[in-house]
Amino acid sequence: MQFGIFSVGDVTTDPTTGRTPTEHERIQAMVAIALKAEEVGLDVFATGEHHNPPFVPSSPTTMLGYIAARTERLILSTSTTLITTNDPVKIAEDFAMLQHLAEGRVDVMMGRGNTGPVYPWFGQDIRQGIPLAIENYALLHQLWREENVDWQGRFRTPLQSFTSTPRPLDDTPPFVWHGSIRSPEIAEQAAYYGDGFFANNIFWPKEHFQKLIDLYRERFAHYGHGTPEQAVVGLGGQVFMRKNSQDAVREFRPYFDNAPVYGHGPSLEEFTEQTPLTVGSPQEVIEKTLAFRETFGDYQRQLFLMDHAGLPLKTVLEQLDLLGEEVVPVLRKEFAKGRPAEVPDGPTHAARVAAQQAEKTEEVAK
Amino acid sequence: MSTLKLAVVAAGLSVPSSTRLLADRLAEATARDLRDAGRQVEVTVVELRELAREIADNLVTGFPPPALREAVRAVEEADALIAVTPIFSASYSGLFKSFVDVLDRDALTGKPVLIAATGGTARHSLALEHAMRPLFAYLRAVVAPTAVFAASEDWGATGADGSLAGRIARAAGELAELLAGRPAAAKVVEQVVPFEQQLAALRRS
């Protein structure tokens, strides 16, 4: 089981001070947060991709490459990479390059994005969102697995004898997650390829994501990748902690009330009851996170959203200390209990290389 | 045949409201016609005033809190809908439209709907034809030809042919007619298009 954080990369005014960080400060803060994630023993840092203010991460592999140079164990990922509006050829190249620089500590999460104008800005049609996700990923999948690619599709200029360089590290493409908030087609896509499925699991009630994950698990088995329990599931989560529950609520409330996504709507109490958001003590976070397993089954990756809604960097770093020291060690232990042996661990490059070699050896033996 | 489900949405703001009164009369008349035709009917009334905050929350968060979720489900699973709103500023009320906005865009496709409204004077009555009917046409609902408007004075009028009671009876009859012979709505099963089919569709075009 892997634990980490995912960042949206929003530049948001701190509602308690009225101060808005500059883009430069926010970018540096994201890097500091990623380095802290490794320091406190987390496994994964993932960044969003956006192409409009108030968001800064328009160029994820640039940021992740820099973080790769300054970390040793952290897996670098995205949340998400826009498979609809990016050229799949460029995604293939960028992430293969990042894989080499980071010695394999790279995976990637495909998403369609939620900002309408990004489609026309990048020359695409939002009504084609799902077909773009399907066709572009089919090409990306092929580019990482075949050296000479002849390809023709609906959305991109054709390719003749094209080789995407560099080739994936150890001929093992980055592990891919498919993230979706509402589309069964994407759960189906993830299942078809035997890739991972990530439910962001924040902002909405768990029943909503449960349906998508159940579908993904069932179809994963249908396509012969293993049992439903062996499907690779990632979940998001959102927490704010202080040693004392009341302190957490008091401190987080102004951020909640003014948050870009849900502010000025339900109360913090209503929202924590209806969605996976937890505001309270580390113990409460542990209990609520452990309960995810009852809803979604044993899973492989848990990412928390920690830096958003204008929380200052200092607070976020304190949150990561609590997460790394008090929450994740207990979660690792508890999630390991009763976990069936056939349920896979979170995906790593080393394990994928080993699996690929074992497969080759088996083929040779036949 | 199984029981028909009739959902009634009333967007009146006062308690008691003439909007709810009109909604109840329409529901009773429709249920009576259906029972006379040998059908069993189950009526669920959704009072939007009680859901006002949850509707606003849904607009902000993108998901319905528990009570609103029940109301949305009642409308989605109904075989027919009676929708009644007060007329504000020449159209349906903001609360009414906000509720419609949180429904799934396909929730009303093919569903028989009776539209009705209340207002201070009959001068507002054509808002039904100029605002309510196009809204439900857009949502691909099957709207009964008669829309019922009740002005304050209608509640004291005598029962001549064009009276409120007559309009209620005619509209209810039309809704019952639209439902006649229809089997009760089957529960919607979410289906996924197999991936090969999705890929093949792209290659074909």
DSSP 3-state percent helix, strand, coil across chain B (nearest 5): 50, 20, 30
| pLDDT confidence of residue A173 | 98
- Give the residue from A134, A201, A220 with the most B CB atoms within 10 Å of its CB, the best one to mutate: A134
| pLDDT confidence of residue B156 | 86
| pLDDT confidence of residue A231 | 98
Calpha distance B79→B141 (Å, rounded): 11
Could you tell me which residues come within 8 angstroms of residue A270 by beta carbon, excluding any fewer than 6 positions away? Answer: B57, B65
| pLDDT confidence of residue B160 | 62
Contact A261 B202 (CB under 8 A): no
Calpha distance A18→B62 (Å, rounded): 27
Question: Within chain A, what is the greatest distance between any pair of CA atoms?
Answer: 68
Give the range among A20-29, B99-108, B127-136, B195-204 with minimum mean pLDDT. B195-204
Compare all CA atoms of chain B with the CA of A153 and give the residue at the minimum distance: B203
Contact B61 A135 (CB under 8 A): no
Q: Is residue B77 within 8 angstroms of chain A, CB to CB?
A: no
| pLDDT confidence of residue A218 | 97
- pLDDT at residue A242 tops 80: yes
* CB distance A111 to A41 below 8 Å: no
* CB distance B82 to B27 below 8 Å: yes
Helix (H, G, I), strand (E, B) or coil at A107: strand
Q: What is the mean pLDDT of chain B?
A: 93
Query: What are the backbone dihedrals phi and psi of residue B11, each rounded to the nearest 5 degrees, phi first?
Result: -110, 20
Calpha distance A29→A21 (Å, rounded): 10
Could you tell me which residues come within 8 angstroms of residue A360 by beta carbon, excluding any fewer than 6 positions away? Answer: none
* CB distance A219 to A188 below 8 Å: yes
pLDDT in tens, B48-70: 999 999 999 999 999 999 999 99
Looking at CA atoms only, how far is residue B109 from chain A in angstroms? 20
| pLDDT confidence of residue A359 | 85
- pLDDT at residue B72 tops 70: yes
Query: What are the backbone dihedrals phi and psi of residue B156, each rounded to the nearest 5 degrees, phi first?
Result: -115, 5
| pLDDT confidence of residue A364 | 78
Q: Which residues on B lie below 8 Å from A271 (Cβ)?
A: 61
- Percentage of residues in chain A having pLDDT higher than 90: 91
Helix (H, G, I), strand (E, B) or coil at A280: strand
Helix (H, G, I), strand (E, B) or coil at A182: coil
Spatial CA neighbour of A48 closest among A70, A26, A71: A26
Looking at CA atoms only, how far is residue A24 from chain B in angstroms? 30
Token pair of A258, please? Answer: 């003014």
Q: Which is more confidently placed, A46 or B198?
A: A46
pLDDT in tens, B138-151: 999 999 999 999 99
- pLDDT at residue A54 tops 80: yes
Contact B61 A215 (CB under 8 A): no
Q: Residue A217 corresponds to which amino acid?
A: R
Token pair of B34, please? Answer: 């259906």
| pLDDT confidence of residue A234 | 98
Query: Cα dist. A335→A6, A142, A280, A290, A329 in Å?
Result: 20, 35, 21, 7, 10
pLDDT band at A29 (very low <50, low <70, confident <90, very high): very high
Calpha distance A4→A46 (Å, rounded): 8
Q: Which of A189, A205, A275 sits opposite B195 (nearest CB)?
A: A189
Q: Over the range B15-53, which residues count as b (16 or more CB within 10 Å of their CB) and which as e? A: eebbbbbbbbbbbebbbebbeeeebebebbbbbbeebbe
Compare all CA atoms of chain A with the CA of B196 and give the residue at the minimum distance: A192
Q: Residue A215 corresponds to which amino acid?
A: L
| pLDDT confidence of residue A362 | 82
pLDDT band at B154 (very low <50, low <70, confident <90, very high): very high
Looking at CA atoms only, how far is residue B65 from chain A in angstroms? 7
Spatial CA neighbour of B81 closest among B61, B111, B126: B111
pLDDT band at B184 (very low <50, low <70, confident <90, very high): low
| pLDDT confidence of residue B205 | 58
Q: Which of A154, A192, A208 sits opposite B205 (nearest CB)?
A: A154
DSSP strand pairing (A233-235 vs A196-199): parallel
- pLDDT at residue A311 tops 80: yes
Calpha distance B112→B5 (Å, rounded): 12
Mean local confidence (pLDDT), A66-74? 98
| pLDDT confidence of residue A200 | 87
| pLDDT confidence of residue A198 | 97
pLDDT in tens, B22-53: 999 999 999 999 999 999 999 999 999 999 99
DSSP strand pairing (B4-10 vs B80-88): parallel
* CB distance A192 to B195 below 8 Å: yes
Q: Is residue B204 within 8 angstroms of chain A, CB to CB?
A: no
Calpha distance B73→B187 (Å, rounded): 11
Preceding peptide of A347 cis, ω within 30°: no
Q: Is residue B197 within 8 angstroms of chain A, CB to CB?
A: no
Contact A203 B195 (CB under 8 A): no
Burial category of B153 from C-beta neighbours within 10 Å (exposed 0-12, middle 13-18, buried 19 and up): exposed
| pLDDT confidence of residue B185 | 65
Contact A266 B65 (CB under 8 A): yes
Q: Which is more confidently placed, A4 or B163?
A: A4
- pLDDT at residue B189 tops 60: no
Contact A204 B202 (CB under 8 A): no
Q: Interface of chain A against chain B, CB under 8 Å?
A: 130-131, 134-135, 138, 153-154, 184-185, 187-189, 191-192, 203-205, 208, 211, 215, 219, 223, 261-266, 270-271, 274-275
Mean local confidence (pLDDT), A173-191? 94
- pLDDT at residue B180 tops 90: no
Q: Which residues on B lie below 8 Å from A264 (Cβ)?
A: 60
| pLDDT confidence of residue B97 | 98
Helix (H, G, I), strand (E, B) or coil at B83: strand
Q: Residue B154 corresponds to which amino acid?
A: D
Compare all CA atoms of chain B with the CA of A216 and give the residue at the minimum distance: B192
* CB distance B119 to B149 below 8 Å: yes
Calpha distance A104→B81 (Å, rounded): 57
| pLDDT confidence of residue A308 | 93
pLDDT in tens, A89-101: 999 999 999 999 9
Question: Within chain B, what is the greatest distance between any pair of CA atoms?
Answer: 67
Contact A131 B65 (CB under 8 A): no
Q: What is the mean pLDDT of chain A?
A: 96
pLDDT in tens, A200-240: 888 788 888 999 999 999 999 999 999 999 999 999 999 99
pLDDT band at A321 (very low <50, low <70, confident <90, very high): very high
- pLDDT at residue B159 tops 90: no
| pLDDT confidence of residue A205 | 85
pLDDT band at B186 (very low <50, low <70, confident <90, very high): low
DSSP 3-state percent helix, strand, coil across chain A (nearest 5): 50, 15, 35
ipTM of the modeled complex: 0.84
Q: Is residue B160 within 8 angstroms of chain A, CB to CB?
A: no
Calpha distance A153→A366 (Å, rounded): 36
Helix (H, G, I), strand (E, B) or coil at A58: coil
- Give the residue from B51, B193, B195, B204 with the most A CB atoms within 10 Å of its CB, the best one to mutate: B195
Calpha distance A81→A63 (Å, rounded): 13
Q: Which of A134, A261, A275 sits opposite B198 (nearest CB)?
A: A134
- pLDDT at residue A64 tops 90: yes
Strand stretches in chain A, DSSP E: 2-7, 44-47, 75-78, 81-82, 107-111, 149-151, 159-162, 175-179, 196-199, 233-235, 239-241, 278-280, 301-304
- Per-residue H/E/C for B111-153: CEEEEEEEECCHHHCCHHHHHHHHHHHHCCCEECCCCEEEEHH
Contact A154 B66 (CB under 8 A): no
Contact B63 A208 (CB under 8 A): yes
| pLDDT confidence of residue A292 | 95
- pLDDT at residue B188 tops 60: no
* CB distance A44 to A2 below 8 Å: yes
Spatial CA neighbour of A116 closest among A101, A127, A106: A127
